[in-house]
Structure 1
Amino acid sequence: MSNPASDAKASRKSLATLFFCTAMPMGMWSVPLANVFKAHERGHLVPWVFATTAIAAFISPLFVGAMADQKHSPVLLLRWLAAITGIVLFITCGSLAWGWSDGMVLLWAQIYTLVATPVWSLTSSIVFSQLENAKRQFGPLRACATAGWMVGCWIVSFVLMADASLLAGMTAGGLWLVVSCLSWWLPMIPPGEVVQHRTWKQILGLDALFLLTHRDHRVLFITSALYCVPLAAFYPYTSAQLRDLGVKNISAVISLGQTTEVIAMLLLSGMLTRFRLKWVFLSGILICVVRFSLNTFNTLPWVMVGTLLHGFAYTLYFITTQIYLEERIDPKWRVRAQALLAMLMGGLGNLIGYLGGGWWYAATTADKVTDWPRFWWGETALTAAVSVFFALAYRGRVRSE
C-alpha cells in the first residue's frame, strides 16, 4: 500500500521537474538568439524575430481559449504543443543553416512563437490544479522554473559552447520533445467547466476595459505597457553588447539576472509588509533606470552588475502587479484583468519595444560599430520617463497597502 505522503511528494517532484524542463529550452533559445542570428548574417532580423513573440501574445490566448471551450485537457494540449514546438524550432534553425530567405526565416520564427507561447500558461495551470495550497506551494515550484532557465543558459555556455551557434536551438528543440514526453507521467487533468462560450473580447480581456475608469487601475495598466518598452532591450542588446566586449559565455552571464530574481522574490513579502505598494512598484522601475545607466559605461564589470539588477527590476514591479490584481480587482473580473494586462505587456508593450529598440539600435550603429553609451542612455531616459509618470499619476491607498 502506498504512503499518501510519499505520493504527494512524488507529485510535487513531477511538477517541479515539469517547470524546470519547460523553462530550460526557453532560456537556451531566447538568450543566445540575437547572437545566433548575427553569426548567420541575419542580425537585421533580430528585432522582427523578437517581435513575433509580441504578435503571438495577441493570438495565442484566442487559441488556448478556443481549445478550453472545446473541453480539451490541458495535459493533452501541453503534450502536443510541446512536441510541435520542438519540431518547429528544428525547422527554424534549419532555415538559417540552409540559407532560406528572410521571409521564410521570419515565417518559421512566427510559427514557433505561436505554438510555444501557450505552453507556459498551460504548464502553470496544470501545476495550480495539482496543488492543495497554492499560496504556500507555488513559490518553490516556480523557483524551479527560474533554475531551469539558468541551467539552460549554463549548458549553452559551458557545455555546448554554443552562444552563437544553432546547436543551442537544436538542443532546445530536443528538450521540448522531452517536455512532451514528461506529460505522459502527469494525470490526465479534466478540462475546466465552461459556463458559456466566450467571445474573443472576453478571452483577450477586452471586456475588462471598464476597469480602466478607476484611476489607479488605469495608471498601473498603462505603466506596465510602457515599462515593457525599454525592458524589451534586455535580451537582444545586452547579449550583443557582451559579444562586443569579447565575452564568450554570454548566456551564462545573462543568467545572472535570474539569480537576483530569486532573491527579489524572497525579499518581496517583507517589503510588502513595510512599504506601500506604490514604493515597491517605483523601486523596481528606478532599479531598472540604474541598471540601464550602468550599461552606458560599456565595460564588462558594470554591464555584469547591471545584469544582476535585472532580477530586481523585473520582480519588484511585475510580481507586485500580480499581487495588486489579487487584492484590488473583483474576483469575477480577475482572470480577464490578467488577460488584458498580458495583452498590453506581452503584446503592445513588447511589440513597440522590440521594433522601437531595433530602430534605435540601427540609429546608434555605424559601420557595424554600436555606440553603446548612446544606446543605453536612450533606454535609461525612456525608463526614467516611465518612473516619473507612475510617481505622479499613481495614488494608491495611503494608510494600508
Structure 2
Amino acid sequence: MRISTPKRIFVPLAALFFFQWGASGMWNVSFSNVLRHAGLERFIAIAFACNAIASFVSPLIVGAMADRGVSPIKLLRWLYWSAGVLLGLMFLAIDRGWGGGPMLTLMQMHSLCFSPTTSLVTTIALAELHKPSAEFGPLRTWATGGWIVAGWVVSWVLVADSSPLCGYTAAAIIVGLGFATYFLPGLKPATAGRATTWTERLGLDAWQLFKHHDHRTILLTATLFGIPVAAFYPFTPLHLTALGFDHPTATMTLGQASEVASLLLLATLTRTIRLKWVILAGLVFGILRYALFSLDQSAALLCGIALHGACYALYNVTAQIYLAERVDPAMKARAQALFAVLTGGVSNLCGYLATGWWFHRMTADGVTHWPVYWIGLCATTVAVTLYFTLSYHGAGTGFFRKPAVR
C-alpha cells in the first residue's frame, strides 16, 4: 500500500518501533531460561509481574503529561536512558549471583521506566500518521521485524538463549534509543488544557471511557483475554526446551511471521470488514493456539506459536486503532495509556501470577503436565471470546463494513 505520511516522519517512527520492540524481544523471550540457568526459576512469575505492577502507575501519569503539553520526545528520552541503565544492572545482579531480592528490585525499577514508553510511542505514531487506520499496521510491522531479528541475534549470533548477555545487549539498545530521540522530527505535543485536579494530573479521568458500552467491551475483552495470553512468553520457551528445541528464542519468532502478514492485511480488513469480526478472528486464533499447545507435540506447538502473531495483531492492535479513531482527541494519549494499564498491568499481573501458580500446580519432580496446563488456559480464552461476541454492538450490522461504520 502507498504510505501518505512523509518519509521524514514515517522512517524515524519505523526505526523507533524496530529498535524498541527489538530490545524487548532481545531479553523477554529468553528471560525464563536465563533465570532457570541461574537457579532463579522460582522467581519467573514474580519477575514478569514486575512489569505488570509498573503498568498500573506509569502509563497513565505519562499519558496525562503528554496530553497536557509536555514534550513526548523529552519524556521518551529520559525514560529510555533510565530504563536501559536499570535493565543492565538487573542482568548484572543475575550474572553476579546477587540473589532474587536485588534482581526483582531492579526489575521493578526498570519496568516503571520502560512500561510507559509503549503507549507513548503508539500515541506519537497515531498522532503523526496521516491515515492511522491504513498506516499503523505497516508501521507496526517494523516493531515485529525488530522482535524477529532480536530472536535470531540472541540464538544464532550471541548464542545467549540462557545467558545474561541478551540483557546487556538489550540495555545498550535502549540507552541508544534515548540518544536517537534527538533525530526524531519535531512532533507536536498535545494542546489540551492544563490539569487542574489530581485526577487529571494522574490520568485517572481516562476511566470515564468505561461509561461507553463499546469502549467498555473492547477494554474488558483485551484485559480478560490478556490473562491467559500472559503465559505465552514465560512458559512456551520452557515447553520448547522440554521438547528438545535447542534455540527456543529463535523458534519463538515464528509467531511474528503471522503477525507481519496480519498487520499488512489489517488496513484492508478494517476498511472492508466490521471491527467486531476482525477482533473476533484474533480471539479465535488465540483459542486454536492453546488447543494446539495442549497436544504436547513438536509440530502442534510450532503451529500454535505461528498463530500467536495473528491473534495479537487482530485483537490487540485493532483495539488500539479503535481507540485512536473513536475516542475524543483530547483523551487519546490517556486512552492508549489506559489500554496499556489494563493489558500490561491488570492482564499481565493477574496472568503472570495465575498462570505461574497453574504452572507450579501442573509440575511435579521437575516435569510439567503440559496438556492439562494449556487446555485450562484454552478454556479461559473460550469464555472471553463468548463475552465479546455477545457484548460488542458496533455501529452497524452484518459482516462487511458500511461507510463510516466501525
Assess same fold via TM > 0.5. Answer: yes
Which of 84, 88, 101 is the equivalent residue of 1:90? 88
Alignment of 1:105-254 (within 5 A): 105-127=103-125, 131=129, 134=132, 137-187=135-185, 189=187, 191-197=189-195, 199-202=197-200, 206-254=204-252
Quick one: structure 1 residues 193 and 272, their matched pair in 2 at CA, closer, same or farther if it must change by over 3 Å?
closer
Deviation at 1:271, TM superposition (A): 3.2
Q: Which moves more between the two structures, 80-89 or 38-47?
A: 80-89
| Structure 1 residues 65 and 292: alpha-carbon distance in aligned structure 2, compared to 1, 3 A threshold | closer
Q: Deviations for 1:50-103, whole angstroms, at most 9, x for unmatched residues?
A: 111111111112542575488653333323322222211111011112222322
Give the conservation status (yes or no) of the 8 Å contact 1:28–1:168: yes
- Aligned residue type for 2:26: M
Tell me the distance in 1 between the aligned counterparts of 2:188 and 2:392: 41
Instruction: For 1:234, give the aligned amino acid.
Output: F
Cα–Cα, structure 1 residues 68 and 198, in superposed 2: closer, same or farther, change >3 Å? farther
Q: Letter of the aligned partner of 1:25 in structure 2?
A: A
Match of 1:376 among 371, 374, 377: 374
Q: What is the CA-CA distance between 1:112 and the residue it aligns to?
A: 1.0
- Measured against aligned partners, the alpha-carbon deviations of 1:86-144 in whole angstroms (never above 9, x if no partner) come to 21111101111222232211101101111111233343455456555555554433322
1:22-33 paired onto structure 2 within 5 Å: 22-33=20-31
Instruction: Give me the whole-angstrom Cα distance separating, in 1, the residues matched to 2:139 and 2:357.
Output: 38
Alignment of 1:2-401 (within 5 A): 9=7, 12-65=10-63, 68=66, 72-127=70-125, 131=129, 134=132, 137-187=135-185, 189=187, 191-197=189-195, 199-202=197-200, 206-396=204-394, 397-398=396-397, 400=402, 401=406
Instruction: Note closer, same or farther for the CA distance 1:208–1:293 as it changes in structure 2 (3 Å cut).
Output: same
Instruction: Note the C-alpha offset of 1:40.
Output: 0.6
The answer to whether the 8 A contact 2:23-2:171 is kept is yes
In structure 2, C-alpha distance between the alignment counterparts of 1:185 and 1:387, rounded to whole Å? 43
Which residue identity does 1:116 align to in structure 2?
A: F
CA shift, 1:42, in A, is: 0.7
* Range with greater deviation from structure 2 (275-284 or 371-380): 275-284
Compute the displacement of 1:364 (Å). 0.3
How many residues align? The count is: 394
- Conserved 8 A contact 1:86-1:174: yes
Does the CA contact (< 8 Å) of 2:54 and 2:111 recur in 1?
yes
Q: Shift in Å at residue 146 of structure 1?
A: 1.4
Offset, 1:326 = 4.3
- Work out whether residues 62 and 203 of structure 1, in 8 Å CA contact, stay in contact via their aligned partners in 2: no
Task: Name the aligned partner's letter for residue 164 of structure 1.
Answer: S
Paired residues of 1:361 and 1:375 also in contact (CA < 8 A): yes
Question: 1:198 Cα shift?
Answer: 5.5
Which deviates the most, 329-338 or 262-271? 329-338
Q: 2:3 — aligned with what?
A: none
Give yes or no for contact 1:92–1:105 (8 Å, CA) kept in 2: yes
Alpha carbons of structure 1 residues 70 and 291: separation in structure 2 relative to 1, 3 Å = closer
SS in structure 1 opposite 2:57?
Answer: helix
Contact 1:128 1:134 in 2 (8 A): yes
Alpha-carbon contact 1:19-1:145 (below 8 Å) kept: yes
Q: Which amino acid aligns with 2:20?
A: T
Q: 2:244 aligns to what SS in structure 1?
A: coil
Equivalent pair of 2:126/2:324 in contact (CA under 8 Å): no
Which stretch of the first structure deviates more once superposed, 105-114 or 53-62? 53-62
Tell me the CA shift for residue 28 of structure 1: 0.3
Q: Secondary structure at the match of 1:398?
A: coil
In 1, the alpha carbon distance for the partners of 2:199 and 2:366 equals 44
Counterpart residue type for residue 398 of structure 1 = T
| 8 A contact 1:203–1:339 mirrored in 2 | no
Residues 128 and 377 (structure 1 numbering): CA distance in 2 closer, same or farther, change over 3 Å? Answer: closer
